[in-house]
Amino acid sequence: VQLVESGGGLVPAGGSLTLACAASGFAYDEYAIAWFRQAPGKEREPISCVASIDGTTDYGASAKGRFTTTIDKAKKTAYLQISGLQPEDTAIYYCAADGGLYYCDFAIYRDFSSWGRGIQVTVSS
């Protein structure tokens, strides 16, 4: 599985951003794509997950409210919309995926096997 993130960059505080994760190479018809982020000096944390089978989602504890994840199944692309960006959202954002995964629940599963290279999001104050 190959994952390529796009859409990152420098954004002023209060702005919005949409990241995209284009996936290819799944051996299964259904899959789940997740977003994680890692800020400097901090551990990687889960942000969102979306399941292709029905579009259901799960969000990490720090992502509820300003983050929305969607999927375009035909394009095998997941999106992460972030609104009201704050300097503390500055991080490298990674997408991750597993084929044959029919649900998203970070409380149960977050050990995705395929990862993108990550993309930098920097929020200026």
Task: Indicate if the pLDDT at residue 54 is higher than 90.
Answer: yes
pLDDT per residue as tens digits for the range 23-32: 999 999 999 9
Distances (CA, A) of 7 to 19, 49, 119: 5, 18, 8
**Cα–Cα distance for residue pair 45/110, rounded to 1 Å:** 10
- Terminus-to-terminus CA distance in the chain, angstroms? 37
* Unique residue bearing structure tokens 């991750």: 96
Q: Which residues lie across from 35 on neighbouring strands?
A: 48, 95
What single letter denotes the amino acid at residue 93? Y
Structure token pair of residue 2: 């190959």
pLDDT interval class at 64 (50, 70, 90): confident
What's the rounded mean pLDDT across residues 52-72? 94
In angstroms, the CA 117 to CA 56 distance is 25
Residue 65 pLDDT exceeds 80: yes
